[in-house]
Every structure is written in structure tokens, then in C-alpha cells.
Structure 1
């Protein structure tokens, strides 16, 4: 009898999204130096989420056949970071500023590179017409090569022990490297660009579901990158395939202020057949 194939998908389990304890130390591999982490965009409750997920991986070690990790990967210069934008006085927007299509049309916020005006007008118009997340300026986060881009220690250690016990390598998927479009979901950017295939739909995660009997989902943040990734996946899955998905609800949390969006997402997924379980109930 064939053993059920099970995969674990962990979305953006990186230091910049975790409310790391103040005294938590981090070793930079390249420098062999310890430094205290100052997360750029800590999600409340996420450090405890990481402990529960690490425990889940340890307990289910022999039952998990593959682990896939998405990594939010940005440049300092990014459409969702302040330096991409300026007002008429040359000032950059504060974190959590919302920039609408009308704001750009009215000249309230403009790209620091004037030649990108046509792009950002089309970009924001597309977001608004499709009912996607509004363009928000996040604190500069998950910059490639920074400490905040790395996977948090509890989850990283659990993955490494899983690799040692199963003789299997986990898979990493990078997203967000193009500075001209936001990339919440693991399948495609908010505004796919014709000249960059890495922003266009990638069937990898959909195939992961098709090739497995069960796919557990965790990561940060529930309100944004987890929600967006799962929504992109279920659009391409049959009703029977959707039933293979289980969100480990006690290992993921919403960005502060976006709790209602997270609840609406969970309600919607539950209604279409996605399983919503706590890691301890399995």
C-alpha cells in the first residue's frame, strides 16, 4: 500500500517578520559575529508561532517528505520601500503610507525616477481595479544579504534536523527581487511584468499540491503573504485538490491592524474546503 506523500510549505519564515525576543542573538555566517536582531516588520505572536512550527516539524519528521520555503527577497530600492517615492519637497513617505493611483495622478507622491511615472500609474490602477492590496510603503525589509532576510533559528534548526534524518534537501523559492512590483504570493507578483518571467505565474506550488496527498501550510504573515500564496494556489486547483491543504493556524499570525483581513481569508478558505487545524491537533 502506497504511503501518503506529505509536504510542508513555509512562507517567508524570515527574521524581519518575527517578534524576536530582545536578547535573541543571531550569528552571521559570513562574519561569524553575533548581533542582536531588530526585525523590520515584526508580526505580533510570530516568535511563538516559530516555536510551535519547529515542534511540529520535529514530531512529524518521518511523515514529511518535502519542505518548501519561500523567501521574501528585496532590494533597498523597491516599489514598497520609501526611497522609491518622494513628494514635491523631495521627502520620502513614512512607513505604512498608502499610495493610491489618484495620489500619483495628483502629484502627491511620485517615483524618485521620473521615467517610471507611466509604470506606477499603470501599476496602481491595476491593483485597484483587481481589488488587490493597496500599495503600501513597508519598513525596508528582507533585503538580500541582511540578517532580516535569513530564516529564523527555531525553524532553520528544525529544517536542518529534518534534512539530516531524511537525507533530503529542502527547496527554497525566492520572490520579490524585481523592485518594480510587490510580490506577496509565492506563485506570482501582484503586477506581473512582461519582461521578467520571475514575476509571472510559477506553477511550482500548484504542482506541489498535485504531487502530494497532504500539504501543510505555515509562515508569515497570515494576512498578507500566506493569504496571497494560498489564494493564488487554490485558483488553479480542483475542489478535491483544495482538500489536500491544511493551514496550521497556530503557527501563523496577521500583521498588526490587518486581523480582519486574516479572519476573512480563513473564513473563505474554510468554506471552499481548506483544512484549518492547530499543529497540536494532528
Structure 2
């Protein structure tokens, strides 16, 4: 399908008030059949396409994300007639979380800088000390290394609830609204990341489980919901973190159901990796996605579909 007249590709990655009414009205004008009548059901799963990740001046800007968002937005416009449901996750944080600078101090009382790695052995040695949830934090870094095979990374404050950085990038939101009007379909928004004591890269589960919280384990209901679709396309930020961990949750949950894994299509040109001065996150993510492709995951692009 054609791109709508109100769409401006140069507006992607800029801050403005989304023209929701205009987008919904333009969608209505297409006179498409409602999504509820689809016999072949297609979902688009958008991972954390938020201002802080997508925009060049975002708090945790991902290089290449503006172009990713543009391709994703245009893909949705072109395929609005075949997309049944749009799902979008929102990384949603509060200032004091275990990966925040304010959570930790060194032996001299200094907070770590963003992108500092905190190995478990340095916590046990007292080189890094948690100011909150002391016992949990010390156990957390060890469990993270043992279970998730990661070391704790300190991140810049990002996607804080109530800030502009937490919102979806406006141009993409307009495309979601356009789909809502065109297909008479409610979008599904998924909040994640509000548990202070754990990281939550995946849409479906935190890095270390917290049984004291209702969202502290694996979201089986949402994983089962995806399996009801015939095709599920995935785009978002960052490829190396939240997209990768979301897909990892899917691969782990459906490891013995290849017929479900084959439904998932990764839009590889609609995601980019976090830039780090010492860690090649892009290479690590690409290697893992290629391993998943050997297990039946489909790697494609916005141009191929």
C-alpha cells in the first residue's frame, strides 16, 4: 500500500505531538476490512521504539535507530492491510534501579559511570557496594553471572516514567494509530522494567526472577498469545539487548515446538545494537541470531517482506 499523505520521513526521530486524530481518520478512509475478520493473522511486535533509544539526543541513543524507525514505520504503512495486531513494548524505569549509577558506590563513595561493568567478584570484595537492597544486590550479581551468563552493566538513566524519553517515537506512534483506524484494531502496549531489583531486557521475563512481584517471572500468557498468530514480525531497539533477549525468551519457551518458532520473522534492518567503547555488541548479537536461524527462526528485512 502507499504511504499516507501526512507522513513525513524527515520527521522520524524528531519530537512533536503525534497527530493521532489525523492518522486514525486517514486509516478509516482506506475502508479496509477489520482485523477481526483476518483468516491469516499477522502480528507486528515492536520492542522499545522509544525516544531515549531512537532519537539521536536520547539518553541511551542507539546508533542507526532513526533509520530503523523510519523503515519500521514505512513497513507498517505498506502492510497495514495484512497486519492484524500491533504490539509495542515500553521500557519503563524509575530512578533507583539495580543498573542505575545511584544504586552503587565504590570504596571512596563514588557512583559508577554509565557503561561500567560490575563483576560479582568486585562486589564480594567490597570494591562496589550497593546502597539499596544490600543482600539481594550481592546475590543478584552472582545469579546474573550464573543463570543469565552476564555481568551487571550500569546504564545511563533512560526511559524514566513520565519523561519524554519513555514515549514511543511520534512518527511510529502515528503509524500505529493509522493501523488502529484502518483495521479497527486496538494496539497492545506492554510495560516492562519497573522492578527496581532486576534488569528486564526481555518483554517476557526479568534477567533474575523476583517471585515477590506479579511480573517477576516468565509471562507465559503473553508468550502463548503470540503463538495464536500465523506470522509475527519483530523490530525494535536495541538488537543487542532488548530485542535479542525477547527473542531468546521466545526460543527458550518454544524450543520443542519448531512449528511455532518458524512463525517468527526478524526484521534485521529495523534494529541496531548498543555502541560500547570496549564490547562489540553487534557481533555478539548477530552471532546469536544466526544460531537461532539454524533452529528455525526466520531472518528477513523490511525490503524482503
Q: Does TM-score exceed 0.5, indicating one fold?
A: yes
Q: Secondary structure at the match of 1:280?
A: coil
Query: 2-side partners of 1:268 and 1:109: how far apart?
Result: 35
Alignment match of 2:99 (pick from 73, 77, 80): 80
- Confirm or deny: 8 A CA contact 1:209 1:241 kept in the other structure: no
Alignment match of 1:121 (pick from 121, 132, 138): 138
Q: In structure 2, do the counterparts of structure 1 residues 15 and 106 end up closer, same or farther at CA, with 3 Å as the change threshold?
A: same
1:278 and 2:295 aligned: no
1:190 and 2:213 aligned: no
Q: How does 1:209-248 map to 2 (within 5 A)?
A: 209-237=226-254, 238-248=257-267
1:110 and 2:146 aligned: no
1:56 and 2:79 aligned: no
Deviates further, 197-206 or 267-276: 197-206
Cα distance, 1:41 vs structure 2? 0.8
Q: Which runs of no fewer than 5 residues in structure 1 stay unpaired?
A: 21-37
Deviations 1:239-278 (A, max 9, x none): 1100000000110011114111111122112111111111
Cα distance, 1:120 vs structure 2? 1.2
Deviations 1:57-94 (A, max 9, x none): 00110101111111111001111110011112221000
Q: Which runs of no fewer than 5 residues in structure 2 stay unpaired?
A: 1-36
1:45 and 2:44 aligned: no
TM normalised by structure 1 equals: 0.90
**Match of residue 3 from structure 2:** none
- Confirm or deny: 8 A CA contact 1:209 1:244 kept in the other structure: no
What is the aligned residue count?
263
Q: In structure 2, do the counterparts of structure 1 residues 135 and 166 end up closer, same or farther at CA, with 3 Å as the change threshold?
A: same
Query: 1-side partners of 2:214 and 2:119: how far apart?
Result: 26
Query: 2-side partners of 1:262 and 1:97: how far apart?
Result: 20
1:99 and 2:118 aligned: yes
Cα distance, 1:154 vs structure 2? 2.0
Q: How does 1:235-274 map to 2 (within 5 A)?
A: 235-237=252-254, 238-256=257-275, 257-274=280-297
Q: Supply the RMSD in Å over aligned alpha carbons.
A: 1.4
- Confirm or deny: 8 A CA contact 2:120 2:151 kept in the other structure: no
**Match of residue 29 from structure 1:** none
Cα distance, 1:207 vs structure 2? 1.5
